[in-house]
Structure 1
Amino acid sequence: MINRTDFTDHEWKQLEDLPIIIGSGIVAISRSGAIGKIKEAMSLISGPREAAKQFPANQLIQELLSSEGTKSSQEEDHEKVLFVNDPAQVTGFLMERCREVVTILDSKVSVEEANDYKRWIVASAEHVANTSKSGGFLGFGGKHIDDREAQFLQTLRETLGISA
């Protein structure tokens, strides 16, 4: 049974922060407009919680959700992501964080637990992306996931090594 004590503080913080900073990446690259971005930003906390419902038996995910943790490094990463206007720069920074987490998972948890965690990250990001629409006029038309978000989600899946 995997639990918090199986990880260093730094490793745990990386696992804990990833769904939120990936969601921040969605907000940063989205073309949803100001109101849409606010809606997406407000879903940063609910995204991981909603996505975790798909993995009720995964102890790692459930323990990550219940851990309190400090917010300092998470806030620094939010600032790095949210205030960058270049989608490629945001994506590059976040995919490097994903690769670091994959290395941790490969050394500490079973393949099944790692795959669940990776799918949880993608599901969390999809939740944020689906919170508002991009395009359209006065709320009509548009898409929940715009082209930038779709590309980001595809790159995320590839980086984590999971299929759509």
Structure 2
Amino acid sequence: MSLKDNFTADEWFKVMTGPGRAGAAVVAASPSGVTGLLAEAGAIASAMRESVSQESRTPLMEAMAADLLGQPAARPPEQERARNVEDVKNQSLEGVRQAMWLVSAKASPEDAAAYRNMIMLVAQRTAEAAKEGGFLGIGGTQVNDKEHAVIEELRQLVGGAETGRGLITHETPPGAATVRPEPGPDGSGNSN
């Protein structure tokens, strides 16, 4: 039995796409021109390859490496379409949160740490891939404030590398509906 067997097909899809979603969140925070987008997409792929190609891979990184070389999933699960870059960023961050939750719940702490490092490497390399601002490559900054903000948001979402473990802010599994109490007669949420 492989580590991948711990996950359903939909869960594994979320795990496999989590790092790419981290990169997408950075891209959506500060969209670049066509050349910048190509550089950022290349950085996402390169950082993922680097993470799964290390000599001291965890079982999760081994399983991800095997899938990256194999056949892609036949059909991704249905999801709401993003209407603008803010939606892309928010949906990407939620996808990372779900993926990190799944890895933390179903894999070893070493696997979770390796996955967290992969997500942060993808985010950092994506942000550094193209200068933002400027004109024709002159001026601008390598990583702008919006990209820094998303990287920090990702760091908080997955738990900083300095803590050594994921920061799971929800105990409910990804996709579970949140039940909110109906407001009381006075509108306070209290039934009294």
- For residues 101 and 108 of structure 1, what CA distance do their matches in structure 2 show? 11
- For residues 64 and 148 of structure 1, what CA distance do their matches in structure 2 show? 30
Once the two structures are aligned, what percentage of the paired residues are identical? 29
TM-fit CA distance, 1:31 = 4.2
The question of whether the paired residues in 2 share the 8 Å contact of 1:2 and 1:109 is answered with no
TM-fit CA distance, 1:114 = 0.5
**Matched residue pairs, number?**
159
Per-residue Cα deviation, 1:122-164 (whole angstroms, up to 9, x for no partner):
1012112211111223312322212111111100010111147
Per-residue Cα deviation, 1:77-101 (whole angstroms, up to 9, x for no partner):
7x945x6233xx3333222222222
Amino acid corresponding to residue 147 of structure 1 in structure 2: D
TM-score under structure 2 normalisation? 0.69
Amino acid corresponding to residue 58 of structure 1 in structure 2: T
> Which structure is higher in RCO with an 8 Å CA cutoff and minimum separation 6?
1
Amino acid corresponding to residue 48 of structure 2 in structure 1: P
Q: Which runs of 4+ in 1 moved over 6 A?
A: none
- For residues 142 and 25 of structure 1, what CA distance do their matches in structure 2 show? 20
- For residues 59 and 142 of structure 2, what CA distance do their matches in structure 1 show? 31
TM-fit CA distance, 1:106 = 2.4
Aligned to 2:134: 136
Aligned to 1:12: 12
1:90 aligns with 2:93: no
Aligned pair partner of 2:121 in 98, 123, 127 = 123
> Which has the larger helix fraction?
1
Aligned to 1:156: 154
Distance 1:157 1:127, change over 3 A: same
Give the number of the structure whose alpha-carbon radius of gyration is greater: 2
Gap runs ≥5 in structure 2: 163-192
The Cα RMSD (Å) is 2.7
Gap runs ≥5 in structure 1: none
Counterparts of 1:92-107 in structure 2, within 5 Å, are 92-107=90-105
TM-score under structure 1 normalisation? 0.80
